[in-house]
Structure 1
């Protein structure tokens, strides 16, 4: 079966920029106290459900996967880009890292306590979100936790250069209410939506959603 062009484009873009991306991005977590607090809440919710296995989907160079391990979670990072996974394995020896797609996770049904997609659904065409959310739901245990992060807006943007390298990458902003409704349609209970105003150097508001796969069937 042929691969969707948007998947091939995202893989090629992040393969091309893996090294400079890994140098530039991880340190930004130090300036994101709210995000770190939400990661802490996410970890607490997972521990309350007594399953601390979590997939960081679209993990990039692995800095957030490593943070999740530091919070006491059993974390695996998953990314489309083989080059990003190489970088992550070199930088962070504690977590496990695997090449994979959020649209077809090589994970068993109902095995994970949590799924994190931290600014990784932004490269999915809007029409592909239900497919990804259904896959997140499939791999989570009953009561399992989902956390999403994204930029807020209605537009599709395109990047043809990053870190001085030519790329071909689409970037889709999201509306929190629309994302929450899609999650409900996929079987999730939406627990919290957090919207933050732009910080210095940011152009748009950012959204975070915490959701849960119901502990029992409705």
Structure 2
């Protein structure tokens, strides 16, 4: 496993419980993100993979919205928490850097692609496209900017070692087009966040 991938997995294993507790009600104060999620739920057809699902908060919210959603995450500790807190849903350990080996109508990846180095993003988007059925819907959420931060301390004050890549929406949109997606919408969330809607061509 690449060093960055090992660091990311180990970091989220370390902070899993505190991360889950601190983000449990995060969506309640973010109406624009809730709207993005509702729109995704209304438009998607078929099962949905929540890639980088963490403790399963978004997976569970999609289920509440009537979507057949399941979660995939790199961190075994996150998956263990997700299974414990949402026992009626399916969660599995996996990496977006490898083929997902599923056939789905939609993929949602909120603030999980942010740890993938630039040179690997096209391959990850290729895996997403392979997993999506024709006309399948993809929604990406990410930090906006032009830099990479090294996060060394995280939720609950635990040590972490993860690189957080901030990217411009137009750059992510170009990667999507090159991977065979049609970009349908770009939502800016204040000055530091964005959500992109794209569809498999």
Normalising by structure 2, we get a TM-score of: 0.97
Which consecutive aligned stretches of 4+ in structure 1 deviate over 2 angstroms post-superposition? Answer: none
Normalising by structure 1, we get a TM-score of: 0.89
> Which residue in the other structure is 1:123 paired with?
115
> Which residue in the other structure is 1:145 paired with?
137
Residue 71 (structure 1) aligned with residue 71 (structure 2): no
> Which residue in the other structure is 1:189 paired with?
182
Superposed counterparts of 1:164-179, under 5 Å: 164-179=157-172
Unaligned runs of 5+ in 2: none
> Which residue in the other structure is 2:24 paired with?
26
Query: Offset of 1:183 from its aligned partner?
Result: 0.2
Residue 161 (structure 1) aligned with residue 159 (structure 2): no
The 8 Å contact of residues 144 and 169 in structure 2, kept in 1 or not, is answered as: yes
> Which residue in the other structure is 2:200 paired with?
213
Unaligned runs of 5+ in 1: 199-204
Classify the secondary structure of the residue corresponding to 1:159.
strand
Query: Offset of 1:52 from its aligned partner?
Result: 2.3
CA distances 1:48-83 after superposition (whole Å, capped 9, x unpaired):
xxx320000000010000001111111110000000
The structure whose Rg is larger is 1
Aligned residues: 200
CA distances 1:136-170 after superposition (whole Å, capped 9, x unpaired):
00000001000000110010000111121111111
> Which residue in the other structure is 2:39 paired with?
41
